[in-house]
Amino acid sequence: MNRILNSHFLCHFLLWLAWMMPACQPASAAITAPVFSGATTTALTRVGWTQDDDPSWEEAYQKLLRENQDLREKVAAGEMSRAEVIEWLKLRDALEEEAYQKLLRENQDLREKVAAGETSRAEVIEWLKQNRDALGEDRAGENWIERNEALFIILIQLAWIVPLVVIMTIVHIVVKRREQRRTEALGGAADEMGLVFHGEGDAAFHQSLPDFPLFQVGRKKRLTNLVLADTPELKMGLFDYCFTVGHGKQKKVRRLSVVVVQSADLHAPRCHLRPQIVFWDPIGALLGKQDINFADHPEFSKAFVLKSDTEEQARAFFDPGLLDFFSQHTNISFETREGAFLYFRQWKRVDPTVDAIQSALAEGYAVLGALQDRLERPG
C-alpha cells in the first residue's frame, strides 16, 4: 500500500491540475487545445496518444456534461468548449493509464492478480480514483519529510533551541537591568554618605588586593560597585564580587558583597575561616581535609572550618578571646593575608541602601577591632 501511495500521489495531483487549469482561464481566452510538454507528453505518448489523433470522445463528453452541472454551465457560458473538454478527457485517460502501468511495474502482487484475472484494469483505475484525495493528503506530509530529511531534523532541533535562546536572552536582559538599578542605588547611597564610588570597579584597587582564597575560585570574575572609605591609617572598602563555577546543568553564578580592610598594622597568620557545612565538612575531615579544631572551644569548632598554611601559628593566634568573638558571628567568612582581611557572608549581597552599607562597614570595623585587641594580647 505504501508503494501505491508514493507512486500515484503525483499522478493524482496532475489530474486535479488539469481539471482546474481550464476553469481558471478568463472567458475571453482563445479556445485552443492545450499544449502538453515534459512528463505530461511522455505520459500521453506511452499510451499511444498524440495531439494529431482524433478518436471519437463524444460519448464520454456527453456523460461528463450530464454528471457535472458546473461543467454544463461553463460550456453554456462559453467559458469552455467541447474541444477543450475532450482534450481534458484525453489527458485524464492518459494519466490514469500512466498511473495504472506504473502501479503494475512496482507491485508484483497486483501484476499477478491482473494476469490471473482476479482484478481488471478498470477496477484498479477505479480504486485509484476513489482513494486519490485521502491518500494523497495522508502521504503529502511524509513525502515532504522524506525529501527534506535534513531540514526536518533542523526544524526539530530548533523547536527547543529557539525557545531556549529566547528564554536565555530574556533572563540576560532582566539580570542586566537589575544590576543597573543596583549600581544606581549603591552610587546614590555612597554619594549620600560622602564616600567614593566606582560602579565598574577599580582595576588598580583589585590588583592591589592580596591572593585571598576567594579570588582563586571560579572563572569570569568581576569586582564592581566599589565603595571606598579611606583614612591615612586605614583603607576600607565594600564591593560586589561575582564569579562562575561548574559547567552545563551544574553551572552557577555566585554573587556576594565583600568588606575589605587594609592596614599596615595588621599582622595575622594566613588563614581562611568559613561556616561549616553540617553534613559534608565532617566527612571531609575524616578523609583528611584540613579543619583546625579547638578541643577547649567546641562551639567554635562546630560552627566553623578553619584552614591555614601555618597551622601552628593559626592555633596560637586564635586565642579564647578571638574564638569567642567569631563564635558570636557564626554566619560569616573571614580571610587574612599580611596587612589585609576580607569579611563577607557567603552568597549574600548587601542591600543598596545607606543603612545596609553602614551596617556592613561597621561589622568589618568590629572584626578589625577584634584583631587589634588580639594583637595587643600576649601570645
Give residue limits of the domains in the chain.
2-147, 180-376
Instruction: Give the pLDDT band of residue 6 (cuts 50, 70, 90).
Output: very low
Chain-wide mean pLDDT for the chain?
Answer: 81
Bigger pLDDT: 186 or 118?
186
Output DSSP code: residue 276: P
Q: What angle is formed at CA 169 by the lines to CA 163 and CA 172, rounded to 5 degrees?
A: 140
Bigger pLDDT: 302 or 137?
302
> Of the spans 1-15, 34-48, 288-302, which averages the highest pLDDT?
288-302
pLDDT of residue 167: 93
Range in 1-10, 96-105, 196-205, 359-368 with the lowest mean pLDDT = 1-10
Range in 129-138, 161-170, 292-301 with the lowest mean pLDDT = 129-138
Q: How far apart are CA 214 and CA 210, in angstroms?
A: 10
Instruction: Give the pLDDT band of residue 143 (cuts 50, 70, 90).
Output: low
**Dihedral Cα 250, 219, 306, 235, nearest 10 deg:** -140
Q: How far is CA 17 from CA 74, 218, 315, in A?
A: 17, 66, 94
Which stretches within the chain are classed as H helix? 2-23, 38-46, 58-67, 69-76, 82-106, 108-115, 121-147, 149-193, 203-208, 280-286, 298-303, 311-317, 320-327, 354-376
The residue among 89, 102, 90, 91 whose CA lies nearest residue 128 is 102
pLDDT of residue 75: 85
Q: In the chain, pLDDT over 70 holds for what percent of residues?
A: 78
- Whether the per-residue pLDDT at 17 is higher than 60: the answer is no
Residue range 1-28: mean pLDDT, rounded: 39
How far is CA 50 from its chain centroid? 59
Other Cβ atoms less than 10 A from the Cβ of 212: the count is 18
Range in 22-31, 58-67, 191-200, 319-328 with the lowest mean pLDDT = 22-31
Instruction: Give the pLDDT band of residue 299 (cuts 50, 70, 90).
Output: very high
pLDDT of residue 321: 96
pLDDT of residue 55: 53
